[in-house]
């Protein structure tokens, strides 16, 4: 074997020797170069509309940081939830950082703080001044027992989107509306039988007693609570009973003012609004973005206003939805992940893409003075939609991070549906006449959720066995 090789080399031309030398030098050069990142940042998200945004940002990061590249994957929401819990409970592999919707993130808080699979960001946020830079209420869903485990993606204040063409044609001035009573009274002429069949076709508000989202949005706006500041269950409170009794009257009897159309997810629901069969809808900023993209027929027909208050001087907004960026404690390089997370969530460019593509306003307060939020929007009859949402951003209600909040919302929604059935069967159409039954139904709901919580020794509803009890209030 050696002899043939020696003969080949002895008879090799100078060109062959040049090739051999260059190949050797090339191999040495490659060996001396810095090793490429063997473990790129694995980033998982569940929302495809977010992917469209991040595909505009991640290439910039990768170009600047070739040794810290990001691999983005869109993962089905249930799969993401399963993988997250599996990783946190049994140590199976998971991405270094990933987005978690509110209900998904809450599941991570079922045990003691030291077992939460997300990195505790509280001290880092304080040291870097981010607690002051980011809208304070936006931290609440990601805060458990006083510790913050996620970077907020959004604020999602809720406004009332209404058919301004119909309202203005009827000579109604929305500036005269302060409360829900004002809204239903002043817009009553618009509630009509449009086809002459003796039945009302157009209603004033898009809501349903069986739709959990509208129930929670209105309950939060009215000052209702499902958990107190120490995350103790409060479903059966007198305040909640009074709110449910009043909400029930919106769905029953001759003065019924609500109908439901799923404008967020279905074309049929969007068509109901486009056809003018409902005058107003509960619209967080992301719903405004959905309708702008999917229902161009509404352009120039709608405007936004603060939600009517439950009482004079009361809150004029609520909150719906929410996503956080979480950092897995198992990541081999948190500093690298943290740098990318801030680039993605805190940059001005990211805020601009988020608003221009999805109408979502940033939780980063330093961006709120950006002129883009004051640009007239033809879809909203020339109104600056961004500014109207940002005016309410500091006032969105705090939300609990309890893993049992989805259970509580569903239980309260069932109670509201049962209350509406009770009111119809007994022809009781006044809130005062329904408070007692609302309290009874909420007590049943309370006990049902309490039974689920009692199985968790760390989050027992009466506080026994709970560890590290704290507050969900944002800094």
pTM > 0.85? yes
- The token pair at 13 is 């031309």
CATH number of the domain to which 413 belongs = 3.40.190.10
Q: Where are the beta strands (DSSP E) in 378-426?
A: none
Q: How far apart are CA 460 and CA 453, in angstroms?
A: 6
* 285-289: average pLDDT: 97
Within a domain: residue 431?
yes
pLDDT digits (tens, 9 = 90+) for 336-362: 999 999 999 999 999 999 999 999 999
Q: In whole angstroms, what is the distance from residue 41 CA to residue 68 CA?
A: 7
Give the tokens for residue 42. 């694995």
- Between 441 and 33, name the one with better pLDDT: 441
Mean pLDDT in the chain?
89
Residues 301 and 214 in one domain: yes
On whether both 228 and 365 belong to a single domain, the answer is no
Three-state DSSP at 392 gives helix
Bridge-partner residues for 45, per DSSP?
74
Question: Coil, strand, or helix at residue 283?
Answer: strand
Please indicate, yes or no, whether residues 236 and 180 belong to a single structural domain of this protein: yes
Q: Examine residue 29 and state whether it is found in any structural domain, yes or no.
A: no
DSSP conformation letters of 317-374: -EE---EEEEEBTT-S-HHHHHHHHHHHHH-HHHHHHHHHHH-PPPSBGGGTT-GGGG
Q: Is the pLDDT of residue 8 over 60?
A: no
Range of the domain at 433: 157-320+402-454
Residues 227, 293: one domain? yes
Alpha helices in 359-467 (DSSP H): 385-392, 405-426, 435-454
Supply 354's token pair. 């988020």
Q: Is residue 475 part of a domain?
A: no
Whether 4 is in a domain gets the answer no
Last residue of a domain, one of 380, 395, 410: 395
Same domain, 165 and 83: no
Q: What value does the mean pLDDT take over residues 323-343?
A: 95
How many structural domains compose the chain? 2
Mean per-residue pLDDT, 234-244:
98
Angle between helices 334-346 and 348-358 (to 10 degrees): 50
Q: Does a structural domain hold residue 115?
A: yes
Residues 415 and 445 grouped into a single domain = yes
Claim to verify: residue 172 and residue 115 sit in the same structural domain: no
On whether residue 329 sits in a domain, the answer given is yes
Same domain, 216 and 356: no
Residue 276 lies in a domain: yes
78 and 204 assigned to the same domain: no
Whole-angstrom distance between the N-terminal and C-terminal Cα of the chain? Answer: 76
3 occurs within a structural domain = no
Instruction: With residue 143 as reference, give the H or E element that holds it.
Output: strand 143-144
Same domain, residue pair 162 and 275: yes
Same-domain check for residues 65 and 181: no
Q: Are residues 369 and 440 in the same domain?
A: no
Average pLDDT, integer, range 112-140: 96
14 alpha carbon, distance to own chain's centre: 69
């Amino acid at each position: 074997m050696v002899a043939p090789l020696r003969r080949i080399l002895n008879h090799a031309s100078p060109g062959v020797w040049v090739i051999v030398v260059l190949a050797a030098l090339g191999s040495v050069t490659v060996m001396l170069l810095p090793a490429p990142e063997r473990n790129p940042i694995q980033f998982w998200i569940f929302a495809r509309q977010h992917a469209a945004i991040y595909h505009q940002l991640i290439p910039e990061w990768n170009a600047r940081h070739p040794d810290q590249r990001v691999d983005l994957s869109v993962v089905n929401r249930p799969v993401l939830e399963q993988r997250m819990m599996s990783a946190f409970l049994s140590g199976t592999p998971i991405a270094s950082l990933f987005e978690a919707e509110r209900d998904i993130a809450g599941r991570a808080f079922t045990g003691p703080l030291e077992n939460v699979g997300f990195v505790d960001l509280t001290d880092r946020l304080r040291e870097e001044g981010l607690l002051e830079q980011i809208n304070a209420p936006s931290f609440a869903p990601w805060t458990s027992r006083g510790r913050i485990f996620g970077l907020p993606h959004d604020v999602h204040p809720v406004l009332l989107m209404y058919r301004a063409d119909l309202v203005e044609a009827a000579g109604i001035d929305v500036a005269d509306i302060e409360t829900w009573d004002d809204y239903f009274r002043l817009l009553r002429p618009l509630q009509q039988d449009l086809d002459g069949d003796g039945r009302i076709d157009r209603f004033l508000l898009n809501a349903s007693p069986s739709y959990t989202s509208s129930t929670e949005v209105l309950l939060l706006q009215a000052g209702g609570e499902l958990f107190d500041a120490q995350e103790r269950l409060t479903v059966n409170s007198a305040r909640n009973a009074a709110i449910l009794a009043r909400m029930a009257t919106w769905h029953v009897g001759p003065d019924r003012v609500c109908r439901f159309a799923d404008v967020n997810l279905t074309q049929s629901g969007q068509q109901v609004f486009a056809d003018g069969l409902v005058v107003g809808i509960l619209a967080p900023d992301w719903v405004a973005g959905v309708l702008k993209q999917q229902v161009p027929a509404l352009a120039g027909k709608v405007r936004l206003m603060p939600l009517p208050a439950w009482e004079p001087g009361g809150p004029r907004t609520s909150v719906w939805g929410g996503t956080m960026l979480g950092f897995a404690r198992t990541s081999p390089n948190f500093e690298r992940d943290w740098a990318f997370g801030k680039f993605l969530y805190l940059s001005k460019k990211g805020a601009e893409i988020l608003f221009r593509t999805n109408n979502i306003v940033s939780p980063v307060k330093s961006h709120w003075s950006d002129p883009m939020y004051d640009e007239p929007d033809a879809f909203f009859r020339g109104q600056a939609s961004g500014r109207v949402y940002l005016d309410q951003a500091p006032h969105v209600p705090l939300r609990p991070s309890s893993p049992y909040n989805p259970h509580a919302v569903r239980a309260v929604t069932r109670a509201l549906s049962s209350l509406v059935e009770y009111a119809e069967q007994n022809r009781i159409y006044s809130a005062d006449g329904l408070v007692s039954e609302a309290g009874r139904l909420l007590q049943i709901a309370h006990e049902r959720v309490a039974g689920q919580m009692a199985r968790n020794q760390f989050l027992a509803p009466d506080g026994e066995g709970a560890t590290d009890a704290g507050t969900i209030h944002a800094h």
